Structure 1
Amino acid sequence: MTVHAQAAPAKVPAVRLKITEIFHSIQGEGLTAGVPTVFVRLTGCPLRCSYCDTAYAFTGGEYVELPAILSRVAAFATSHVTVTGGEPLAQAGCLELLSALCDAGHQVSLETSGALDVAPVDRRVVRVLDLKTPSSGECARNLYANLDLLQSGDQVKFVLTDRADYDWAVETARRYDIASRACVLFSPAFGLLDAATLADWMLADRLPFRLQLQLHKLLWGEVPGR
């Protein structure tokens, strides 16, 4: 009787992502502002917003396999983790990273432009959608179907540079009734719109939204990795 050797199972390629930086800082934005957080910044972004403050993450970076990323995050012994970019969802492995971080017991948030579909994102992840305003030059890229996927705890951010952005953001938030599904954050573009002016506009219009300042920039300025 002839015995045929069984073929070895195909090796599954390891999940790896291109990483710009992994660092420990204070969360500067959103509902957990002020909370110590580990940031995993993925490399690459298909958008080119006029006010982008992380253009250094468009290129470069290094490929890191998923277990090594989890190990580097765990070394900081911090429960909160934010996956950001660039645009993190531009990398297919981001979905597995998010789920793996949740499985490891972290409280995970995703900072995304909202231009890419968030439907596949693990439901345990807090999604922070950055809807692009007219002055960004990328307003046409907003995927408004994402708003139908919002759940309790999610956040929608508008970065504003002027009154035209503000008026557009107010109208958009009201048209889609975003505040009934998620926290709405109005953030002045750093160095472009005075925060007190934005606060005055919001108070005058009795908006049920939240003014957001970038706490990390108030502490350390525009320093990468902070």
Structure 2
Amino acid sequence: MTPDTAPDITPDTAPDHSPEAISAQNAGAASAQDVASEDDVEAVRRQGKIRISEIFGPTVQGEGALLGMPTVFVRTGGCDFRCSWCDTLYAVDPTFRADWLPMDATAILDRVKQLSNNQPILITLSGGNPAIQPLAPLIQLGQQQGFTFAIETQGSIARKWFATLDHLTLSPKPPSSGTVFNANDLAACIAAARSPAATGTTPPLPHPALPSP
């Protein structure tokens, strides 16, 4: 699939991204006490594990460009945002970290296959923010077995493996979330998804999900 022209990601006003401004404006954002330590996250990564909040389906995608598609959701644990109206705090707040199961790619895919009766299906990677997790091995293993992958992320963290996805949904958070929009971060995510250097193959088409006010 050949990407179209990049969407206009210029905000109405240029946000102030200084530490002071972010501290003042991000009332709903993750605080230093709430976020899992980098050492803790890295320890899980070194084990080749992904923090999983839940895996469920098959169900039908209820929103976005893939509306109506049968899918199994793989919801990861952990997020770099704290949206004021978040409806999945159990996959965001480290208070629930004990409920997040570290799983490797094989174990995750085995669970998906149990739910799909061993039939290849669209796997939707959600969160939290799934871009925090080391998902490249899972995507590679699943695609080798006929599965396709979509990710839903706010566009705050760019990963090289975005280019290996079949579908990328970027959903910048609006002012009502209490978080600060960073156009540069979003642009980096789009660039990562469109980079053929990561795989040598045609990258996916990002699906921008326009925020509501």
TM-score w.r.t. the length of structure 2 is: 0.62
Bigger Rg over Cα:
1
Higher strand share: 1
Residue in structure 2 matched with residue 99 of structure 1 by the alignment: 140
**Aligned partner (choices 164, 168, 172) of residue 131 of structure 1:** 172
C-alpha contact (below 8 Å) 2:75/2:130 kept by paired residues: yes
**Aligned partner (choices 45, 48, 58) of residue 15 of structure 1:** 48
Residue in structure 1 matched with residue 16 of structure 2 by the alignment: none
Distance 1:63 1:95 in 2: 15
C-alpha contact (below 8 Å) 2:120/2:146 kept by paired residues: no
Matches within 5 A, 1:145-160: 145=187, 146-149=189-192, 153-160=205-212
Residue in structure 1 matched with residue 186 of structure 2 by the alignment: 144
Please state whether the residue corresponding to 2:157 is helix, strand or coil. Answer: coil
Residue in structure 2 matched with residue 81 of structure 1 by the alignment: 123
5+ residue gaps, structure 1, are 1-12, 166-226
C-alpha contact (below 8 Å) 2:77/2:130 kept by paired residues: yes
Please state whether the residue corresponding to 2:210 is helix, strand or coil. Answer: strand
Residue in structure 1 matched with residue 80 of structure 2 by the alignment: 46
User: How many positions carry a matched residue from both structures?
Assistant: 148
Q: Deviations over 1:101-143 (max 9, x none)?
A: 2222112101111000144324343111111211112233451
Distance 1:157 1:69 in 2: 27
Q: How much does 1:36 deviate?
A: 1.5
Identity %: 32
TM-score w.r.t. the length of structure 1 is: 0.59
Please state whether the residue corresponding to 2:139 is helix, strand or coil. Answer: helix
**Aligned partner (choices 60, 65, 73) of residue 31 of structure 1:** 65
Instruction: Give the letter aligned to residue 149 of structure 2.
Output: V
Residue in structure 2 matched with residue 8 of structure 1 by the alignment: none
Q: Deviations over 1:76-122 (max 9, x none)?
A: 1351110110001112x222222222222112101111000144324
Higher relative contact order at CA 8 Å, sep ≥6: structure 1 or structure 2? 2
Distance 1:149 1:122 in 2: 6
Distance 1:134 1:85 in 2: 20
